[in-house]
Structure 1
C-alpha cells in the first residue's frame, strides 16, 4: 500500500460518525417498521418503493449521482478525479416478510456513511465510488433470491426472472416495471458495467463472532450449496381399514429417507476439521394431506451446504444410494433431482489482506481483539459479484446469531467498527 493510499484509508476510517450511522439505520427501519422492532419490507412492494425514494434523496444530499438499471438496482455514485471503473460497495434493502433492520440495509447505509466520511475528511479519490442497493436479494416474495446482483453480472438471467410470480399472482416483471416507472427522475444505465472491486459489509447472521467475542470478521468465502427435490411415491388408502403390513405409505418412505440422510450428516461425512455438512430438509408437500388417508405421494426439499465441494459430492452419492435402497422396498419408489447448485465462492488473497488490515486497525484503536477469518454460511450478493471483479466481505456480530427475525440485533459499537473497516477498505481501493 502506498503512503497516499494508507493516509486516505486512515482518514476515511477516522471520520466515520457512529451517531449519524445509527440515525440512518433508524430512519430506513421506519419503512415497514413493526411494533416488535422488526421490519417488513419485501422487494418491490409499496413500502420498498418508498424506502428506495428515501435512499435516493439521502444519496443526493451527499452529492451523489443516482442511476438505476433494468433490474431496478440503485447506484449512488460519488465522482472520482479520473475516468476509471468505480469501487462498489453496498448490499440490499429488502427484507424477509418479518425481518430485522440490519440484514442488507446495514451494508447500504454503511456505504453511504463512507461517502459522508470522505466528504467530511475532504478526500477526493481517483476512482469513483458507488454504493448499490440490489433488488430482491431475499427472494421471499419472488424467487430466486439475489436477482438484482445476478442479473447485473449476467443480464441473460433477467428475462426468466421477469416471469417469476409471487403468492398473489403478481409477475416480477410487472412489479419491476412499476418500480422503474415510479422513479422517472432516475436515469437508466446499462447492466454489467465494469467495476474495479467490490466490498460488501454485512451482519454475520450466525453465532461465530459473538461466541469468540470478536467484533469484526474477514470473510474468506461463501459455502458451496446444492438444492434437491425428493419425491416418494406410494398409494393412497383408507387410514382405518388398510392393515399396516399391506400399506404403500409414501410418508413412511420419506421419513426413512430423511432419517438416513440425517444419520449420514451426523457422521461428519468426511468433512475436514473445522467444517461440517449443513443439512436442511425444508419444504414438505403431502398428497392428499388428509388426516384419515394414507399419503400417496410426498415431496420434500434438501438444502446441503459445505465449504468443501468434495463433501457435497459424497452427499449426493449417498442420496442416490439411499433412494435406490429405499425404492427397492415395498411402497418405496424414491426419486430425486438437483435443481440448484453453486460451487464455493473464494475471495482473492489480495482483497482478504486489505480487509484484514482495515479490520485490524479498527479493532486495535478500540482495544478489542483482532479480526477472525470465517466462511459465510449464507448467500450474499457478493457471491455473484465475485465472478465480475475482485470482491470481499466484512462481517460484524449478530446477537445470539439471530437474523431473519424481528429480534435481529448488533451492538452499535460493532456496527461502527464495521463501517470503519469498510471506509478504510473502500478508500484504499479508490486510490488504486
Structure 2
C-alpha cells in the first residue's frame, strides 16, 4: 500500500507540474509533414531536444495526421517531466531486412515521462515479416521493435495503439516504476515474433486494462524482472502470458514476484506458461501468482515447460538449471481446446518446488474428459491441489508411486471429502 501511495503521489506531482508550467512543442512547428511519406525523424528530434533541455514540464505534441518516421531515439536525462502526446498516427518505413536497427521508436534514460494520446503506431509489419528468419534459426537479425523503453523511471504509457509491429510491439528494459494501461496491441495470429509486451531487467512494472491480440506471447516476462503486476488484460490470439523463456544465456538474472490476475485468454495457444531452456545456466524463478483467470478455447491452459526449444538445434545434453518454486494458481477456470488442462514438464535436475493449485476448473470444449499432457509431475517437490477432479487428471499419466509421497490435497474443497483423492492415489 505504501508503495502505491508513493507511486500515485509521484504521478500527481508530474501531472500538476505539467499543468502549471506547460510548454507545448508542436512537431509541425519543427517541420513535420503529415503526408505519410516524408521522414519526420529530424523534426521530431528537434522538438524533443527543446523539451528535454527546458526547465519545467513540456509537451511534445504530434497532432492528427499520418507521419512517417524513421528509426529514432528520444534520449535523456532531461531537465523536467515530459509528456509525449501522440494524437496522430505514426508510420514506420516499409520493408527489410534490417541491420543493427533494434527499435523503431525508443526512449532512453528519461525520468517522469508520459507517453499517451490515443494515436496509432503502424509498424508496417507485413512488408518485413517475410525477412524474419528467427523462427527457424538462432543465427538471424531480429526485426525492429516498434517502441522500446530503456532505463525509464517513474513513468506512464497509456492510450496507445500499436498495429502490425515488425517484431515486439512494446519492450521495457532496465526500467523502474512504470505503469502501462489502456494499450491496444494488434497483429495477425500468424505474424512472427510479434510479442505484445516484453519486460526484462525491470522492477515495479504494472500492466492493466489493455487488449493484446498478436502472433506471439501477449506478455513475456524475462531475465531480471521483479515485482510485475498484470491485471485486467485481454489476450488472444497469441501464445498466452509467459514467464520466460529463461536460461538460454549465461548472464541471466533471477525472476521473482510476478502476479497475473483478473485476465482473460481467448483462443490462445497457451494460457499461463513458465518456460526455460535445457542449459547449464542457473537462475531462480519464484513467487508467482496466477489468480482469477478466465480461459476460453485455450490449447494449453496451464503449462510449465522446462525443455523449451522452439527450433533446432536443441541442447538436450543437460537438464534446465532454472529453479521454479513458489507458484500459485488460484481460481483459474474456462475451457481447453485440447484434452490437456495442465502440463508440468519440470527440470529433472532442479524439480519444481511448492506448486499450489486451488479452485482450478477447466473443461474441454468438446466435453471430453481432460487429462494431463507431458508430465514429469513425479519430480515436483510439493504440489498442493484443492480440486480432486483435477488431481485425478494430473495423476492419470504421471508416475503414481512417485507422486504418492509428493502430493498433498485439501479435503474440504467445496465439501469434497478426500475419498476421491485417496482413491486416485491408491
For Structure 1 versus Structure 2, the TM-score category normalised by the shorter chain is: under 0.3
TM-score for both structures, normalised by structure 2: 0.26
Q: Per residue, is there more helix in 1 or in 2?
A: 1
Higher relative contact order (CA 8 A, sep 6+): 1
Between Structure 1 and Structure 2, the one with more strand by share is: 2
TM-score where L is the length of structure 1: 0.26
